[in-house]
């Protein structure tokens, strides 16, 4: 019987691991003690002790073996030494991993490679090759990436997207932040320093997102706050200087057209007419659509009249208050907006359709999306459930009355309103009510989309990315 000596040398890192293990005590008859029966584990370890003895240079142990087994063991020892010299500490590491796998160690290996890469927004990414509908063989061509930024009176929003099927695109990045750029504008006529600082901070994030991607075409616009402010042009220069972004102050007509382009796909194709409105922070755009000859893909061609009211949720709330709004103040807000609409020459272009079947309203703004979220009793706002939702006339009456009856604290507590909109939502409801009084409709469709989508759509149409079989032409970023 073989005896493993405590003074056995180790010839490699693979054997040093075995030398540290606690071996079973086995009697060889020379110590005067009677041998005991070994367990399966002890017998297995005993068998492993044979090559270890040979590797330690125990010549006597080899002589005790039959000649043919001794030769095989010597050859195995030679091969093991050669492998140990090439692999270094690999056997020991493998043994340690086996022990960890059995739950004998709670610590992870110190040098495990990291294979998970978080999808950080700032990491540059390129659009994956997409099979075009007009390229059935799939030539692996990378589709262009477009960016649209809308700096409004209340919000700063960015969308980055790639075209997919004709008339559609896939959003690959987005950003939205309430900056209240128009805060105090109605009172002072200029953009406040703090408001500009908030907007520049948000635009800096947008700039980083744009720099992190390969943008084929971009359009960055500013709307009512920069249009109306005495220092609007000066602020645009500061944005260029601080963030590198070149913003374009668009006209009211352009803003109305973009709203139609962005939301046109939600107009009921069986409708004969519709009124689309976008309640913003500093202005409200309204477009009348005549669809009696059938709707086309470019819905802006169906605009028969449009207007841009110089009033939005921020400006109206600053004039009348937004925290505590009693019923008489709320009614006064509605009438003020009604008087503005009364000065719109084209308001009666759809009078023969208004209030009948085949006519509906289409609203895109935080006001109508908030009403939809409250209607659905969402615990957290979900665009997928809101965008495209139909609200009946009776539902809108009930929702507006319910929100108007809430205190400021109750509005803050509602997850679809929150603290950022609690002082603006009633001003938005007042503008909505004025629109409904002028153009009553049995239904209202909610759109959680707007100018950014319109910008993306118009750029993609202009570049012919959906045309068959015209090739994609790439516009340089301004």
Whether the Cβ atoms of residue 142 and residue 126 lie closer than 8 Å to each other:
yes
pLDDT at 269 (0 to 100): 86
- Residue 107: CB partners within 8 Å, gap ≥ 6? 100
* Amino acid 165: pLDDT: 86
CB 261 within 8 A of CB 234: no
pLDDT of residue 41: 67
Helix axes 425-438, 366-376, angle to 10 degrees: 100
Angle made by CA atoms 402, 408, 410, in degrees to the nearest 5: 60
Q: At what angle do helices 393-404 and 366-376 cross, to 10 degrees?
A: 90
* pLDDT tens, residue by residue, 282-310: 999 999 999 998 766 677 788 999 999 99
222/250 Cα distance (integer angstroms)? 6
| Contact of 4 with 49, CB cutoff 8 Å | yes
CB 309 within 8 A of CB 337: yes
CA gyration radius for the chain?
Answer: 37
Helix axes 425-438, 393-404, angle to 10 degrees: 150
CA distance 259 to 447: 10
In sequence order, the 6+-apart residues with CB closer than 8 A to the CB of 215 are: 145, 146, 147, 160, 477
Q: Whose CA is closest to 158, among 170, 180, 175, 179?
A: 175
pLDDT single digits (tens) 214-265: 999 999 999 999 999 999 999 999 999 999 999 999 999 899 889 888 888 8
Closest CA to 281 of 139, 86, 150, 372: 150
CA distance 277 to 275: 7
- Which regions of the chain are under pLDDT 70? 1-38, 40-141, 295-297, 468-478
pLDDT at residue 261, as a whole number? 86
Q: Assign 190 to helix, strand or coil.
A: coil
The strands making up 390-392's β-sheet, listed across from edge to edge, are: 303-309, 284-290, 273-279, 359-364, 443-447, 390-392
Query: How many CA atoms are closer than 13 Å to the CA of 204, on its beta-carbon side?
Result: 9
CA-to-CA dists, residue 116 to 107, 113, 213, 468, angstroms: 19, 9, 21, 40
pTM recorded for the entire structure: 0.66
Structure confidence at residue 142 (pLDDT): 75
Going by C-alpha positions, the residue among 180, 121, 186 that lies closest to residue 156 is 180
């Amino acid at each position: 019987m073989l005896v493993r000596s405590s003074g056995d040398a180790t010839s490699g890192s693979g054997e040093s691991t075995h030398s540290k293990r606690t071996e079973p005590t086995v009697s060889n008859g020379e110590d005067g003690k009677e041998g005991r029966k070994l367990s399966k584990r002890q017998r297995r370890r005993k068998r492993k002790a044979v090559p270890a003895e040979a590797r330690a240079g125990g010549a006597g142990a080899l002589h005790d073996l039959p000649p043919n087994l001794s030769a095989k063991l010597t050859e195995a020892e030679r091969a093991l030494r050669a492998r140990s010299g090439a692999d270094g500490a690999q056997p020991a590491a493998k043994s340690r991993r086996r022990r960890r796998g059995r739950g004998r160690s709670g610590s992870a290996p110190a040098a495990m490679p990291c294979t998970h890469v978080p999808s950080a927004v700032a990491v540059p990414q390129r659009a994956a090759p997409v099979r075009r509908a007009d390229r059935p063989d799939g030539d692996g061509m990378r589709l262009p990436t477009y960016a649209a930024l809308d700096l409004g009176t209340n919000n700063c929003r960015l969308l980055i997207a790639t075209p997919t099927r004709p008339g559609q695109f896939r959003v690959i990045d987005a950003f939205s932040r309430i900056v209240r750029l128009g805060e105090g504008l109605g009172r002072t006529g200029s953009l406040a320093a703090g408001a500009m600082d908030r907007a520049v901070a948000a635009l800096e994030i947008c700039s980083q997102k744009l720099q992190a991607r390969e943008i084929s075409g971009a359009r960055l616009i500013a709307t009512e706050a920069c249009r109306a402010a005495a220092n609007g042009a000066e602020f645009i220069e500061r944005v260029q200087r601080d963030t590198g972004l070149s913003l374009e102050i668009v006209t009211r007509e352009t803003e109305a057209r973009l709203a139609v382009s962005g939301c046109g796909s939600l107009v009921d194709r069986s409708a004969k007419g519709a009124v689309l409105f976008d309640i913003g922070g500093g202005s409200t755009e309204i477009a009348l659509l005549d669809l009696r000859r059938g709707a086309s893909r470019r819905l802006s061609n169906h605009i028969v009249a449009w207007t841009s009211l110089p009033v939005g949720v921020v400006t109206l709330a600053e004039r009348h208050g937004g925290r505590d709004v009693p019923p008489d103040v709320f009614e006064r807000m509605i009438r003020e907006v009604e008087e503005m609409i009364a000065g719109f020459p084209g308001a009666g272009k759809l009078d023969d359709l208004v209030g009948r079947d085949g006519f509906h309203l289409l609203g895109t703004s935080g006001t109508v999306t908030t009403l939809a979220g409250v209607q659905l009793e969402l615990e957290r706002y979900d665009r997928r459930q809101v965008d495209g939702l139909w609200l009946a006339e009776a539902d809108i009456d009930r929702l507006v009355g319910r929100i108007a009856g809430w205190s400021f604290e109750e509005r803050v507590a509602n997850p679809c309103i929150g603290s950022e909109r609690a002082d603006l939502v009633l001003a938005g409801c007042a503008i909505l009510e004025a629109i409904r009084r002028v153009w009553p409709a049995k239904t209202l469709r909610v759109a959680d989309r707007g100018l950014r989508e319109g910008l993306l759509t118009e750029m993609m149409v202009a570049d012919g990315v959906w045309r068959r079989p015209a090739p994609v032409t790439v516009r340089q970023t301004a």
